[in-house]
Amino acid sequence: MKKAIQKMSLTVFLLSTTLTTTCMQPLSAMESNQTASSIKGPVDAKEVEAFADPLFADKMKQFNVNGSSFVVVRDGKVIVNKGYGFANKEKKIPVDKDTVFQIASVSKTFTALAAMQQVDAGNIDLHGNVEEYLGGLKIPNKTGKPVTMYDLLTYTSGIDLPDGIAITGAQYIDQDISMDEYLPKHMPTVIRPPGEAYTYDNSGFLLAGYAVENASGIPFAEYMDEKVFKPLGMTSSSVRFKPELMKRMAANYVGRKGELRPPEGRTPTDGPQGSILSTGEDMAKYMIMQLQNGKFDGKEIVSEKSMDLMHTYQIFADKDLPITTVGFEGYFPELANGQHVVLKGGNMPGHSSLMVLIPEQKTGFFMSYNNDSLLSSEIYKEFMDHYFPAIKEKAEPAYLPLSEKDAQKYFGLYQNTRVYFVRTSITYENGSLVLENEITGKQKLRMIHPLLFVDEEGNKIAFKEDKNGNIKYFYYATPKGALLVADSQKMEMKQTYSDVSNTSSYKTYINNLSALSIMGAKTGNKFDPTGTMTQGEFTDALIKAQGMYVFAGSEDGIRQQLAAGIPNLNPSAPITRQVAAVMIQNLKQLEPVATTKTKLQDTADAWAKDAITALVSQGIVDPDTKVSADGSFTFRAKDLLKRQEASALLDLAFGYYSLPIKRN
């Protein structure tokens, strides 16, 4: 099955997201003058190397990185440009300034630059309907508000598949699939009003690149060559896998063991969201242009007005929580040490990159390395602490009291708008909101003001209201949730089903799945809690519960994964409890809890016993399955699965919490 349609583990997903960090707002004039007089920044090559050499030696060993490039620019000059370790450890090929890397999502800044060039030329209206530049393609839209180029470039398009319309894999390296051919079959749908919510958005940048192609009349790869790379003298950069670049490209190593694997291409072949190959030498020129307000070697690459949009934060979670510029995005504002920083990172399997710009200091650095670890975030922190240390520590904020009555407007179930399987519960306990999900665990939140809270580790959570003053989203700036580069949306609880009583032990599960549009009414306003399901219906609900993207042509592969080890499956046949358990376990791959004794009492087929035991030991068990004090339980394995039982199993397996086993 294609990698892009599988649900990745949290670790893999974390590493495949863009590794980015945001800045603080520009300092006041007084603070700016203090900074300029007290901080030198990187000015001397020998000093920079004395700082960087031991740092890279230590951190590369810690993160099992074989090779990395590192380039620092300041005041229009390259201070340092060197490589560390091996581009290919098997062949003992060292990294140098000409080693080629896949820069992944750093490519988005180039796409934003190209789009702003077309805005400068009058070919694109930044705030007009972007469909005008899509060659006749229409974006399905449930909101009635058109998507603009500005929405795409600030990660606020409101589409339903932010990562879901491009597929990656080694098999696509040598193929040539145009955006014209690909996009009509893989268009996302606008499900939130554009501009309303932040969601890290690969698909939006793919559409932005396609708009550039149509507005300019030049194929995207050729456009980047002619309008960006050549004017900047970036002779070793390309949107495509050119043979001369592949010869110099660093090997790709993945996982903790550093396993060698082939590089991945994508569909469509030109990937405005992340397909550029480049070198430290070329990226130095790109950063110098960025830090010279769009000018390079006497040429204007893009207007100063457009560059200002790229370097000024446009989208905020709170006034002290900037999120995106035009093209750049990020989080962790405290790492900027009070400087105005814009940056962009990117990850492909086996390659990672990070570009950091400090425009007011005319300083930037770029690095690429050949695995998909978090090395770059460590280098960024050390770089800022060394060259631009914080001037003063922030005072602890004054926290406001919060009554349970006032807290009720925040209560509910929230779903991440990018990573659908990340769901968060917000409740109340002893004067604090309580936030809980599988990424950050359980956190008590203290209130700074009614739309801004802080967790126990000092990370901020900003809420957003709708026009009626109701809470609609929250943004969580936490290192643990680096994959949560998106707002989370409060899910509306559907109307109460007439056949589900308030005292039903299944009501919460039914309501949760209904709010997430996983399972709804069978007919009218009736859920049919004791009705049965077909194997096909359960499969559909299971895919939705897990938060998996499904593409045209991928359904068969997904169903094969779910059906592994189950004999004689028939989508139209009623599903038994044991078949449902195995399907869930095929996705969850849970290990039985070693400290929990469980003993299945009833008869189950041999192919189902391990799955049943694993789920029950993890607390994934419906209310009518009682586990005795000695661990024995009756699962009713061969009974038909009831709809209310399905709601409990799916909510417990893929919801925001794990409940302890219920024992008599």
DSSP 130: G
**Alpha carbons 147 and 218: distance in angstroms, whole number:** 23
The three-class DSSP label of residue 246 is helix
Interior CA angle at 262 toward 180 and 482, to 5°?
75
**Which residues have C-beta within 8 Å of that of residue 318, sequence separation ≥ 6?**
451, 452, 460, 462
Say how far apart CA 201 and CA 418 lie, in whole Å: 8
CA atoms within 13 A on the CB side of 239: 28
pLDDT value at residue 439: 86
> Chain centroid to CA 551: how far?
19
Reading the block at residue 313, the tokens are 């934060």
Q: What is the pLDDT of residue 473?
A: 98
In one-letter notation, the amino acid at residue 333 is P
Count other C-beta atoms under 10 Å from residue 60's C-beta: 20
Both tokens of residue 423?
């769901």
Give the pLDDT score at 448. Answer: 96
pLDDT at residue 33, as a whole number: 37
pLDDT score recorded for residue 13: 38
pLDDT at 391: 81
Q: Please tell me what DSSP assigns to residue 599.
A: E
Q: Are 473 and 323 in contact (CB under 8 A)?
A: no
**Cα separation, 608 vs 458, whole angstroms:** 45
Tokens of 227: 């309008």
d(CA 367, CA 59): 13
Distances (CA, A) of 611 to 6, 194, 424: 20, 43, 26
DSSP category for residue 188: -
Beta bridge partners of 427: 434
Q: How many helices (H) and strands (E) does the chain have?
A: 19, 26
Tell me the C-alpha distance between 205 and 106, whole Å: 12
pLDDT recorded at residue 19? 42
The residue type found at 70 is: F
- Spell out, as residue ranges, where the chain has pLDDT lower than 50: 1-38, 551-553, 657-664
CA 80/CA 92 separation, integer angstroms: 23
Buried b (16+ CB within 10 A) or exposed e, 6-21: bbbeeebbbbbbbbbb
Burial readout 594-617 (b: 16 or more C-beta within 10 A, e: otherwise): eeeebebeeebeeebbbbbbbbbb
What pTM was computed for the model? Answer: 0.86
Q: Which pLDDT score is estimated for 2?
A: 33
Among 107, 645, 242, 423, smallest CA distance to 636 is for: 645
The pLDDT of residue 549 is 56
Provide the Cα torsion 137, 142, 146, 151; round to 10°.
-100
